[in-house]
Structure 1
């Protein structure tokens, strides 16, 4: 019953300490990225329920607004973190414990039981809050569909009763987006599919490391090629099209978003193998930070005002998500091995730990809060800087 104790859970969430064998930098990346996600979703809903849609076109021409347009990279950060933690924690666990003793078997039977255990553990951990929120979404959107002046932003009240089982199996991104229940759950589906693939690679890596590594590289290159092909055949130009223009073909599909997760897995293995102790020369550290910051800044602001062709657009679409993860890889490695300086202090700031611990629930809940705020209005919003600031402040206070 203590698991349902509000006091105990609040104390756990607000605890400003972490274990010595954790990666504190992750908490900062997670907290900042969650704020970025909420910012992007707030803007999307505000645009939908505004009376001056043309204001969005003006804002999209502003340099700083590229941080909103390129908000999808915040999700790549979460994919990267997921892959990193799965890999790091798995190798650390297998180094401390004999898996054969835990499964009470050997060989393929042991591997199979280990795989099943990993999947069941993840399913139980994620699904309870996920499906509680899914039920809230279905009921709330059905009520708003009948009582709000505005149409719901998606047809959850219709799709959820029909297709909830896709969410339960975490396969909803394999079907058309028009039939998706709880649109933002696409991330959970992709992340779970990546986890299943990652579990296979990790179990294989214990005895057949190079085979597992070869498969990881193969999957990575295949993801690049697939994304490039889809972007090219659909004439997708990243800095001209709406960021969500190809949601059903590129944005939510696991084969186009796999790169950051695999990079994260590689970084997790590096940190485990080196025990977070890597000696680097000063010139290496300086170059590493310059390249990392330059890559991340270019991905957010680099295409502003530029013209790129069909081939370049396809190449950019296929490589950009992985490039983002590579930029983060340096930050995590440098900060975890003593070369992060003030960046380490910021990302490891104990004040961010509570926010980091609730990012999963914040991700599930915040779109409901945004929709509730918008659909209770008695008139469209009027887009403007003051409105954006006040709405973001309100949403963050509710999360």
Structure 2
């Protein structure tokens, strides 16, 4: 086993060296307008005292051959827009960047005319707290090392926390819902895949043709669209587990009070804070201060973090357009926290007033779908964000991303379905269920085929405004609800090989690090070119290599930060936070509340 591990490490190191050594080409010819990307030498520019600037040029006039290529690229949704090219140029001292860039391109481009769409020069940031940040990291790492070596029983022991990853939770709910752990892992892998492709589409590569060709592959094409649905599953799982937890509190204490609501939200906030603060500190400390590729991403993040960092701290990023969010991937955490809060509030009112949960939530779902359909119709928005090549290159500035993709309203049905399914699970989890063959086939069909139907529908264009609005409102619910039915079925013994795969030990262990992996994956995905000063050399097989690289490194980093930061600091915080104590009092059984054993699924 040790030899196998050693060989795997050696293979991965060789793979890493190969990937990095094949990641750059010689300095590109800037005026060659057949290349979508081009970069002048950054270090030479820095030594000469010039300004290094990024330009987005629009070709307004050119020869007939090039114009034909441009028109073909604009008509084909699987192609990048060839009328827009991107350059990183060194602007000499005392020159206007806007004028210089335009004149330089037109001077060597054989009569081609350009319009400057956007121009940003690399900022020289003064990272005031950089030394303090790395000093704190160094001191904390030393503490972890010292404690691990001399006091293995401490909550800061790396070995002790690493063993936690391998422990099985004794809760009956955890065992019943173990398939959720595998779904979390696969969903995180899907998100990493999406981020990898998004980063490649926005990285300066020497040839975009191989990337465009990838979109012609049906598996790649549908996986990209599947990535647009990934967060729906997270929202459903979060509400599912929280609903079960709240109903257990109600049964255990006889009531679900405002005090319980506050304690649940306080624990949620503190549970996410250590990793979140580490993410923000890394963003604002110049970790990307190495190459022109990463500096562009660094500048975007630092500009937004300076003004909107507190939105991330208090997890209210959903109030901002995506281009204003400090680390764009943090939008998901803020929306999930919002849904967490609404779940707590809804359950409080339902349990306090003894409403029928199914009738009330069904009414809310119908209202949300109707309202969102009208929202799309009245504003004439796209029905969803479709990750075609043209869209992913400018997604951070996309109106569809802000108003349709990250909009809490567009994602809310996933959370509401989690509420309903969590209540159904709670009401039936101690009743033995026997399913007929017809019921099993029906479950398999709903679980596997209906989400694929929703996925397929998402790839079409809808010109009729009413149809587009209707599809946009029902597509995400149509995708996520059958997956929730799948989770519910597996909790009661259905699933066969699928269930065994999702509940395997590897999946359960990896599920413990998905939060840290998700939080830091953006650093990994958008670090392409961090060792390069020119455009990246890219061929079609590099896509597979980059996906493997991002998956492995993201999970490694996620594991390290889970063990060294999340586990010890969350454990420390919990010691001082108010807790919901167990009680022997039991509530009356009504509607959805049945007499079962207290669940600690969410505590594991």
TM-score computed with the length of structure 2 as normaliser: 0.60
- Residue 70 of structure 1 aligns to a residue whose secondary structure is helix
177-186 vs 293-302, greater mean Cα deviation: 293-302
Mark the CA change 1:231 to 1:374 in structure 2 (over 3 Å): closer, same or farther.
farther
SS at 1:3 equivalent: coil
2:317–2:334 Cα contact (<8 Å) kept: yes
1:102 matched residue in structure 2: none
Match of 1:392 in 2: 547
> RCO greater where, 1 or 2, for CA within 8 Å and sep 6 or more?
1
- Contact 2:446–2:485 (CA under 8 A) maintained in structure 1: no
Structure 2 matches for 1:89-128, cutoff 5 A? 89-98=245-254, 111-128=257-274
Contact 2:284 2:305 in 1 (8 A): yes
Is the Cα contact below 8 Å between 1:87 and 1:202 reproduced in 2? yes
Report how far residue 81 of structure 1 moved. Answer: 0.7
Alignment match, 2:420: 266
Q: Which residue of 2 aligns with 1:80?
A: 236
| Segment drifting more, 12-21 vs 163-172 | 12-21
Distance verdict in 2 for CA 1:298–1:379, change over 3 Å: farther
Matches within 5 A, 1:312-391: 312-391=467-546
Query: Distance between the aligned counterparts of 1:52 and 1:289, measured in 2?
Result: 43
Q: Is the 8 A contact 1:224 1:318 kept in 2?
A: yes
Note the alpha carbon deviations across 1:9-35, whole angstroms, 9 max, x for none: 111112356532211010111011000
SS state at 2:494 partner? coil
On the 8 A contact 2:335/2:408 being kept in 1, the answer is yes
Displacement after TM superposition at 1:213 (Å):
4.6
Deviation, structure 1 residue 149: 6.9
Match of 2:325 in 1: 180
Kept after mapping to 1: 8 A contact 2:292/2:533: no
- CA drift of 1:184 comes to 0.5
Structure 1: which 5+ residue stretches go unaligned?
100-109
2:224 maps to 68
Contact 1:87/1:265 (<8 A) preserved: yes
Structural mapping, 1:204-353, within 5 Å: 204-210=349-355, 213-232=358-377, 233-238=379-384, 242=391, 244=395, 245=398, 246-275=400-429, 277=431, 278-304=433-459, 309-353=464-508
- Partners of 1:25 and 1:307 in 2: CA distance: 36
- What is aligned with 1:44? 198
Q: Which structure shows the bigger proportion of residues in strand conformation?
A: 2
Q: Return closer, same or farther for 1:149/1:191 CA change in 2, 3 Å cut-off.
A: closer
Q: Distance in 2 between matches of 1:363 and 1:163?
A: 21
CA contact (8 A) 1:276 1:336 kept: no
**1:46–1:383 contact (8 Å) kept in structure 2:** no
Specify whether residues 240 and 143 from structure 1 end up closer, same or farther in structure 2 by C-alpha distance, changes over 3 A only: closer
2:288/2:530 contact within 8 Å kept:
no
Please state whether the residue corresponding to 2:435 is helix, strand or coil.
coil
Residue 139 of structure 1 aligns to a residue whose secondary structure is coil
CA distance in 2, matches of 1:93, 1:47: 47
Per-residue CA deviations over 1:342-382 (Å, capped at 9, x if unaligned) read 22111111221111011111110111122234433333334
**Counterpart secondary structure, 1:159:** helix
- Determine if contact 2:332/2:406 at 8 Å carries over to the other structure: yes
Within the candidate set 32, 37, 42, 2:186 is matched to: 32
Aligned to 2:208: 53
Paired position in structure 1 for 2:309: 164
Structure 1 residue 162: Cα displacement: 1.4
Deviates more, 1:54-63 or 1:154-163: 54-63
- Does residue 131 in structure 1 map to residue 295 in structure 2? no
The TM-score normalised by the length of structure 1 is 0.89
CA–CA distance in structure 1, aligned partners of residues 467 and 210 of structure 2? 29
Tell me how far apart the structure 2 counterparts of residues 268 and 351 of structure 1 sit (CA, whole Å).
25
When Rg is computed on C-alpha atoms for both structures, the one with the higher figure is: 2
Q: CA RMSD in A?
A: 2.5
Q: Structure 1 or 2: larger helix share?
A: 1
Deviations, residues 70-115 of structure 1 (Å, cap 9, x unaligned): 302111111111011111122123323455xxxxxxxxxx722122
Match of 1:13 in 2: 165
Q: Number of matched residues? A: 388
Moved more, 189-198 or 202-211: 202-211
Distance 1:384 1:300 in 2: 28
Aligned 8 A contact 1:276 1:337 in 2: no
Q: Structure 1 pair 209/319, CA: closer, same or farther in 2 (3 Å)?
A: farther
Residue in structure 2 matched with residue 194 of structure 1 by the alignment: 339
Offset at residue 139 of structure 1 (A):
1.8
User: C-alpha distance in 2, partners of 1:328/1:216?
Assistant: 18
CA distance in 1, matches of 2:538, 2:468: 31
Query: Is this contact kept in 2: 1:16–1:350, CA < 8 A?
Result: no
